Amino acid sequence: MGRKLEREFSAGGVLVRRIRGRPHCAAIRPQGKAAGVWALPKGNLDPGERPEETALREVWEETGVRGKLVEKLGDVKYTYTRRNGLRVFKIVSFYLLTASSGRLGEIEERMRVEVAEARWLPLDEAPRLLAYGGERQMAQLALDRFGA
C-alpha cells in the first residue's frame, strides 16, 4: 500500500548581529519544546511569497528583529509524522541575514503560541547548541562566513 507523503515548504534565517564585537545568531525555543531546545526561526511560505521574503517575515515575527538579506545558505530536508499519523516531507530554505532593527523577544502576542523564548547564541557555539542537525549545518556556514 502506498502511503501518502505530504509536502511542506518553509523558509527561515540565520540572523546575525554583533554583540560587543562577537557575532551571535537569533534562536528560538518553539512552544512545547523542553528548555534548552534551540531552533532557527522559520515558517511556511504564504501564497505568492518568495522564500527569501518568508525568511525575513518569519524571522521578524518570531524574534522581533528585522533582518537584511545577505545570501542563501542552503536547504534543510527532513520528514516528520503529524499527530494524525500522516508523514510529512519538508524542505526549509535558510538565508543568511544581518540584524537591522528591533529587539529580540519583543514579538506580537499572537506569536507566543509558537515561540516560548528567544535568545542570541554566540555564532561559534550555535553549531553545537542548535537542536537539529540541518540547522547546525546552516549555523556552521554562517560561522564560516562571519568568523567568531
134 binds ligand ATP (CB under 6 A): yes
The footprint of ligand ATP on this chain (CB under 6 A) covers a number of residues equal to 11
Q: Please check whether residue 139 is in contact with residue 43, taking contact to mean a CB–CB distance below 8 angstroms.
A: no
DSSP-derived pairing of the beta strands 5-19 and 87-102? parallel
Among 5, 44, 50, 71, binds ligand ATP (CB under 6 A): 44
Cell of 117: 523564548
In the complex, the smallest distance separating the C-beta of residue 20 from ligand ATP, rounded to whole angstroms, is: 30
Of 76-95, binders to ligand ATP (CB under 6 A) are 76, 78, 80, 90
- Say if CB 38 and CB 28 are below 8 A apart: yes
Kindly tell me which of 10 and 63 has the beta carbon lying closer to ligand ATP.
10
Q: In terms of Cα–Cα distance, which of 21, 129, 100, 99 is closest to 138?
A: 129
Site for ligand ATP, rule CB under 6 A: 10, 42-44, 76, 78, 80, 90, 132, 134-135
